[in-house]
Structures are given as C-alpha cells and as structure tokens.
Amino acid sequence: MSVQTPKRSLTLRDLQEMRGRDEPIAGLTAYDATQARLVDESGADFVLVGDSLGMVVLGHDTTIPVTLEDMIHHTRAVSRGVGRALLMADMPFMSYTGVDQAVHTAARLMQEGGARMVKLEGDAQQVDVVQALAGHGIPVCAHLGLRPQSVHKLGGYRVQGRGEAAAERMLSDALALQGAGADLLLLECVPAPLAGRIRAQSDIPVIGIGAGSDCDGQVLVYHDILGITPHSPRFSRNFLAGAGSIQAALAAYVAAVKGREFPAAEHAFSA
C-alpha cells in the first residue's frame, strides 16, 4: 500500500526563494472552498482572499462595505479548500486605522480565518502599522498603486504613479514599507517601467496586477480570468475562452505567468 505524503504548504520563504531563482510567482484570488481547491490544483503559488469579495461576490460597487466579519467568513471557507498555495487575506477598509486595531484584525484573520499572511493597502503612512505587524511575527503584503479602498480619494480606478514626482513618491513608499518589515509588495495599476524600478530597488517579491511583466509574480481576480465580470479590466485576460473548463482556464493562467507569456504589452500601462 502506498502512503501519499500530503503536499507541503508554500511559505513566505518559498516565495522569497522563487524571487531569488527568478521563477515567476503566480497568484489568484478565491472566495470559497471550491474556488480555493481549483486554484490550488492549478498550481498557483498563493491564493488571495481579496476584498474584491465585496464586488465580485457580494454585489457592492466598491470594496468599502466589506467588513472584517465578511473577510473572516470567506477566508475560513478558502482555508478549507487550499492545500499547497500560501493563503493571504485582505485587511478590509478601516480595519487597520492604528497599530492596536491592525494587530487585532490580523490576529483574527489568522486565528479564525486561517490566513498565513495579511495584505493592507498603504503608503508610507502605514509604516507604524507594518512595523507592529512584523514585530508580532505576522507576514505582511503591502499593496501600493491603485488602492481600491481609497477610490473616492483617488477619484476613480485609475493608473497611479504617472509622472516623475508620483513615481518617486511610490518608490520611496515601497522602500519605507519594506524597511518597516513588509514581506511582499503588490503593485496595482502602476506603469510598467515604475514597477520595474521598484522591483530593482527592493529585496522582497514584487507582485503585479496591471503593473507589467517586470515583477516577480502576478495576481488576478478569479472572476476576471473567467470573463464573468461585467467589465473585465484591461490588464486581465479571459483564460476561459477556448479552454473548455474552469480547471483548464486556471491552469492556462498559471502556465502563462510561469512561462512569462502573461502579462503581454497590451496588459501594461505606460509612464
């Protein structure tokens, strides 16, 4: 009788080593156990329970109404489906306004939800929060560029970091967050040359979504790559078209990231 060894979950260290080997990291969002299982089986390296949950699952216009209870509920469901991939969960709007609240939020996402890393949207203003989380041994991904929780302040979902001053600011924010203890950087809707500069000057994996190919990895929203969102963003691709099944579409996405076929020039933004 053969005994199957359970697949080991990837750790932050594995992602760091992938960066070191120049091996592209593939991530996808998931919001329930079945999606998590399918994403995991596709070979994705990490699964993000994004607060895009609010838009693609709960039917809100923005991510702002998403609560911590929503995130814990869905993270727990995803944790039941995930095996090998590293599980990351978003800290929702207004759940990390200060150090104590942020530590409490992250603790709940990890203890009740089963997350192994938390993600927060921020700039240099979040340095204290990131430092506190890191000091408590909590892996952190800092999300820069287009920060959907700030959509009303940003005046819409638009590319960030265009122009030299804005680019310099984002680069210095990224380095400040890394210095505070962030373990990953996620860049959303950032001109490709700026993402490349941030990657070149940082030591931690840089994951892009609408940030071009010069990143250590990519992440996309599950519903976007299946072409089932009403308006798919320009930086995504419908991997279901022609694939024949959801499983084949997810595998095609992972293979395209690993093979550096995705993102192509048409998915990137110029400076």
Number of residues that bind ligand KIV (CB under 6 A): 11
In this structure, how many other beta carbons lie within 10 angstroms of the beta carbon of residue 213?
19
Of 135 and 235, which CB lies nearer to ligand KIV in the complex structure?
A: 235
- Note if 188 is an active site residue: yes
In the bound state, the residue with its beta carbon closest to ligand KIV is 50
Straight-line distance from the first to the last Cα atom of the chain, in angstroms, rounded to the nearest whole number: 59
Sketch the per residue contact string, 112 through 151, with ligand KIV: x for CB under 6 A, - otherwise.
-------------------------------x--------
- Least gap, CB of 101 to ligand KIV (angstroms): 20
Residue 212 touching ligand KIV (CB under 6 A): no
- Least gap, CB of 3 to ligand KIV (angstroms): 37
CA distance readout (Å), 214 to 158, 198, 238: 20, 10, 21
3-state secondary structure of 265: helix
Of 143 and 199, which CB lies nearer to ligand KIV in the complex structure?
A: 143
∠ CA(14), CA(26), CA(137), 5° rounding? 40
Q: In the 3-class helix/strand/coil scheme, how is 27-67 assigned residue by residue?
A: EEECCCHHHHHHHHHCCCCEEEECCCHHHHCCCCCCCCCCC
Of 55 and 171, which CB lies nearer to ligand KIV in the complex structure?
A: 55
Of 106 and 164, which CB lies nearer to ligand KIV in the complex structure?
A: 106
Structure tokens at 92: 């929702």
Residue 189 touching ligand KIV (CB under 6 A): no
Which helix (H) or strand (E) is 187 found in, with range? strand 184-188
- Those residues whose C-beta lies under 8 Å from the C-beta of residue 207, and which sit 6 or more positions away, are 25, 27, 141, 184, 185, 186, 187, 215, 216, 217, 218, 219
72 alpha-carbon distance from chain centroid: 17
Site for ligand KIV in 26-65 (CB under 6 A): 29, 48, 50-52
Of 221, 225, 250, 257, the one binding ligand KIV (CB under 6 A) is 221
- Least gap, CB of 53 to ligand KIV (angstroms): 7
Of 35 and 52, which CB lies nearer to ligand KIV in the complex structure?
A: 52
In this structure, how many other beta carbons lie within 10 angstroms of the beta carbon of residue 14?
15
Select from 118, 134, 24 the least CA-distant residue to 75. 118
Residue 86 touching ligand KIV (CB under 6 A): no
Residue 89 touching ligand KIV (CB under 6 A): no
Residue 218 touching ligand KIV (CB under 6 A): no
Binding site for ligand KIV (CB under 6 A): 29, 48, 50-52, 90, 143, 188, 209, 219, 221
Q: Catalytic residue numbers?
A: 188
